[in-house]
Amino acid sequence: MKLIDLSHAFDDAMPVYPGDPGSEISRLTDIPGAGFALSQVKMGMHTGTHMDSPRHMIENGKSISEIPVEKFIGRGVLIDARGKERIDDYLLLGVHLQQNDIVLVLTGFSRKYRHASYYRDYPDMTESFAGALVKAGVNIVGLDTAGPDRTPFPIHRKLLSADVLIIENLTNLESLLGMSTFEVCALPVKFKTEAAPVRVIALVNESA
């Protein structure tokens, strides 16, 4: 079994969505002085690779801590949207989506993660693409962009109202090209909040 990490490392200078609070990692103690290291993190919940729960956009929606763990692991499906201006449903032609799938959308934008264009130029997901995911009953859609849409966030609302969780700011999705089958494990921190950092791993059976 090969494990592929699809998450950005969190550091003291994480890029954030325009208007969101910045991130900060502070060292409170160190080994030479106190005998142990202790750090403190200040961040918004939508920093770095993170998962949105329904509560992010839906009144009385579930928080991250209320999502059953079964939702976070499933069959992975990679959609190659590199070079596309929109993430549209024609990209799903020939793709057999199954209930509980975890759909990952590769745009190639993760290479721009620390540039201003990352939050400006990413392709939007169309209503028809999102509708196909909802109709299929997938558990999660993840993207290597800042999100599936822009304000007033109609795609966020469409997906989250149907309990399709959203993972933003993935990376390394190119490593899954050519993989016929793989599983995804996306475990967020169990915060009672509308979103949380998530470590996303693809599990590939190399003998398959």
Average pLDDT over residues 112-123: 96
Q: Domain spanning 2-14+45-204 has what CATH number?
A: 3.50.30.50
Query: How much is the pTM?
Result: 0.97
Q: What rounded mean pLDDT belongs to the chain? A: 96
Q: What is the pLDDT of residue 208?
A: 54
42's CB contacts (< 8 A; 6+ apart) are: 21, 23, 24, 26
CA 173 centroid distance within chain = 11
Residue pLDDT, tens place only, 135-192: 999 999 999 999 999 999 999 999 999 999 999 999 999 999 999 899 999 999 999 9
Average pLDDT over residues 6-25: 93
Q: What is the pLDDT of residue 206?
A: 80
- Spell out the domain ranges in the chain: 2-14+45-204
CA trace torsion 45, 151, 139, 52 (10° rounding): 10
Average pLDDT over residues 100-128: 97
The Cα–Cα gap between 88 and 125 comes to: 6
Sheet strands (E) in 9-98: 24-29, 38-42, 50-52, 73-80, 86-87
∠ Cα 169 171 173 (to 5°): 125
- Give whole-number Cα distances, 140 to 11, 53, 91, 124, in Å: 25, 10, 17, 17
The Cα–Cα gap between 125 and 130 comes to: 7
Residue pLDDT, tens place only, 60-78: 999 999 999 999 999 999 9
